[in-house]
Amino acid sequence: MSRIGKKAIIVPSGVEATLKGKDLVVKGPKGTLSMTFMEEVTATLENGTLAVKSNGDGKRARSMWGMQRTIASNLFDGVTGGFSKILELNGVGYRAMLEGKKLKLQLGFSHDVFVEIPDGITIKCPSQTEINISGIDKQKVGQIAAEIREWRKPEPYKGKGVKYSDEYIFRKDGKKK
């Protein structure tokens, strides 16, 4: 039994949720998000709560039950508060700046790296070594943060690279004589 799947989602005040068949549409102060539930789960919306139940007892049905409930919960969190990730650049000459609808990164390559900012995502650079990514869709925010980090992952010897602000880099000792 899924512990997460058993929990009902309470619809926050100021948020309008509609369920038509397997399609859930959530409208809130920050925007509108939608999702389609998989065949393995059934969702019911009654009295301001959304309940997700498993259709079967198979391994896939049990797996989808908790995942689909979490995705639906993220919709409600996104339209009320939104999501954000903070990236830090560590290294000599590593910097980030916004140029229109693109993020320009200098990461020690012989060329600059340009990252397109997708719709629904807001990127801010409060300093040259910090990137704030925010939006209402948790998947998009995490995906763009992972794509930026992929250009130069932090290395274990000096800690140079792009890392999440709450990430711990396990440091190794250098070469011994």
Query: pLDDT exceeding 70 applies to what percent of the chain?
Result: 99
Is the residue at 109 inside a domain? yes
- Cβ atoms of 127 and 89 within 8 Å: the answer is no
User: What number is the average pLDDT over the span 42-52?
Assistant: 92
* Per-residue pLDDT tens digits for 66-86: 999 999 999 999 999 999 999
| One domain for residues 96 and 75 | no
Distance of CA 29 to the CA centre of its chain: 19
> At residue 155, does pLDDT exceed 80?
yes
pLDDT at residue 105, rounded to an integer: 95
Boundary of a domain, candidates 80, 103, 133: 80
pLDDT band at residue 3 using 50, 70 and 90 as cut-offs: confident
| Domain end residue (candidates: 48, 80, 112) | 80
Same-domain check for residues 34 and 92: no
Question: Do 21 and 67 share a domain, yes or no?
Answer: yes
Q: Are 90 and 67 found together in one domain?
A: no
Q: Are 43 and 36 in contact (CB under 8 A)?
A: no
Same domain, 23 and 67: yes
What residues form DSSP beta bridges with 23?
Answer: 20, 36
